[in-house]
A and B are shown apart, each in its own frame.
Chain A
Amino acid sequence: MREPFPDRLIRRHGGASHRLGLRTLYILPSGFGWLWLLSCGVLFILGVQGSSHGALLLAYLGLGLFLLAPYLTQFNLQGLELRCGSPAPGFAGDVLPYPVQATSRDQRLALGARFRRCEGDLAWNGSLEPGQQWLAVPWRPSQRGLQSPGRLRLQSSAPLGLFVCWTLWDPPAPQLVYPARRPGPVLELDRPQPRERHQAEAGADAQAGGSDHWRELTPHRPEEGLARLAWKQLARSGERYAKRFADPRPRPHLLAPDPALPRERALEHLSARIWQLAASGESYGLVLGNQTIAAGSGSAQLERCLAALALAAP
């Protein structure tokens, strides 16, 4: 996507921090500024034509403000320092905040920040108080992986709106973008396919056989008390066993991309499934090519799996 006219000509500024000064700020009259100038011209003609000094003075006042405005607008931005944060990961297709730290000693009015590549209304708008503040500039990545949001344009036309002053900066820190969540089929390894699973579950129920779900029997020790004694087995065999219980924990899901689908599509389905499993607190693992993530649960596991999806070879 080509950038609009003046920005195309401007050299790129990278670097982890970006200081707004004479070399990095650009300024042009805004559309309203041109209209304002036109109105001043109309007033001037009115004044000359009607020999009206009032209208002439008004025209000159407008011109004076117009001459003063670029300085005021530039001062609104000059000296501001932007620093790159470490952006939190997010999903492709979602609106992600990209953190930028702004340090300023003065108040900054009516700023707007947006990434050049982003469409329409995705922008951060607001004023800055003295001190350090974080701007969360929204953008919408379309692809997974370590993505850079591109060129940031920070602009302001305060206080008069006659000039627009802006800076362009390429924040270097990339943001980790997970594949978009799109529900769909994924391959579950090491797990019975639906019909077999049904049978297996039925068998498990039969095996439980009674009221208590014990997992195994071990020789009973006196200090274990009578509560754990397996009475049935005692009655049957005369030997004392203690019941060992276990949570009826489902077997972990071991997921892999569905080879029948296009690669990216399969990754998106995986992303949705992992998110869903994590939300329901189940445990899951991931097999991606020769990379395997053992089953687990919790937020660290989620992050690990999603990061693997994001960075998987195409």
Chain B
Amino acid sequence: MGSLHQVLTQINGVLLGKHDQVRLAVTCLVAGGHLLIEDFPGVGKTTLAEALARSFGLAFRRVHFTSDLLPADLSGLRLFDQQLGQFRFEPGPLFSQVLLADEINRASPRCQSALLEAMAAGRVSVDGTSHELPKPFCVIATQNGLDQAGTSPLPESQLDRFAMRLSLGFPPRQAEAALLAGKATALDGLAAVIAAEELVELQQQASRVACEPPLLDYVLDLLAASRQGGLATGTPLSPRAGCGLVAAAQAWALLEERSYVVPADVQAVFAAVAEHRLDGGRPAQEPGGYSRQLLAAVEAIR
């Protein structure tokens, strides 16, 4: 667990003043989920993604999504090798441990769905052959929420595939001052704190963190509350959202160095896990509004 704290420290050195978001992002990786970062340009989305990948020592590729990106540009191609005289599979950028999908909402829906299929199944089919993706496999996508011109926003069903959505927001004044003073660590200087195999180990450890019946009751009550239109909730939470919520809470508890999950863990990750599923792409009046209402509606002392 010490190594996880090192990771946190290191990333916090790169991305100043964003402790909560960094912690959630690390939680997402430990929970084995995919991460969507949504915010204005220039607040450090890509920096966070890259810092995460580097700190966990993961092989990463970066793809900038544009409207003319083709699915084959992601998954790879079957090429005819003149020398061998046969077809050969040339793997695309999907075949990495971390795929940084920049500006995912700029790509065509076809391309998005190819990516999301890979995210869900952990394998890619090209010309009828299926190719396993490496483990761990994680997509960190960024999305520019402000500039909607010429974009294809992710539909609700595909938003559901992302375990968490974070928005960074502007840094606090002191952090920004430090940034301007050049006190932030450069991305290039980041070394891997944790090896990829260690991350797999941590992911397994997180899945073993205990969830006792009272806690599961709490999660179930949250899910039920989202499904019963009793509040101004958007889309109801899916069972996948429930699984993601529990997994994220487990990872959070692991970061807190506890061997069991308490409702406070669920509350800590709830907005990140649930909000993008609740609003279905149409943000509430105030950020995190839906999840806050849900949390307030369900008794948390269990």
Contacts and interface: CB of A to CB of B under 8 A. Distances in A.
A86 B224 contact: no
A86 B221 contact: no
B220 to A, nearest CB: 7
A310 B221 CA distance: 33
B217 interface: yes
B228 A101 contact: yes
B296 to A, nearest CB: 13
A85 B217 contact: no
A134 B228 contact: yes
B229 A132 contact: no
A174 to B, nearest CB: 15
B191 to A, nearest CB: 48
Contacts of A131: 217, 220-221, 224
Nearest to B220: A131
A132 to B, nearest CB: 5
Contacts of A103: 299
A130 B229 CA distance: 20
A88 B227 CA distance: 12
Interface in A120-143: 130-134
Contacts of B231: 86
A117 interface: no
A132 B225 contact: yes
Contact of A86 (B232, B298, B299): B232
A83 B224 CA distance: 14
B196 to A, nearest CB: 40
Residue of B227, B229, B232 with most chain A CB atoms under a 10 A cut-off: B229
Tier of interface size on chain A = 10 to 19
Contacts of B224: 131-134
Residue of B217, B228, B231 with most chain A CB atoms under a 10 A cut-off: B228
Given A131-B221, A132-B224, A85 B298 contact: no
B220 A99 contact: no
Contacts of B228: 85, 99, 101, 134
Interface in A86-129: 86-88, 99, 101, 103
B2 interface: no
Contacts of A132: 221, 224-225, 298-299
B230 interface: yes
B32 to A, nearest CB: 28
Contacts of A99: 228-230
Interface in A227-265: none
A77 B221 CA distance: 20
B230 A101 contact: yes
Contacts of A85: 228-230
Interface string B196-220: 0000000000000000000001001
Nearest to A100: B230
Interface of A: 83-88, 99, 101, 103, 130-134
6 contacts: A86-B232, A88-B229, A99-B229, A101-B230, A131-B217, A132-B225
Interface of B: 217, 220-221, 224-225, 227-232, 298-299
Given A132-B225, A132-B299, 18 more contacts: A84-B230, A85-B228, A86-B230, A86-B231, A87-B229, A88-B229, A99-B230, A101-B228, A131-B217, A131-B221, A131-B224, A132-B221, A132-B224, A133-B224, A134-B224, A134-B227, A134-B228, A134-B230
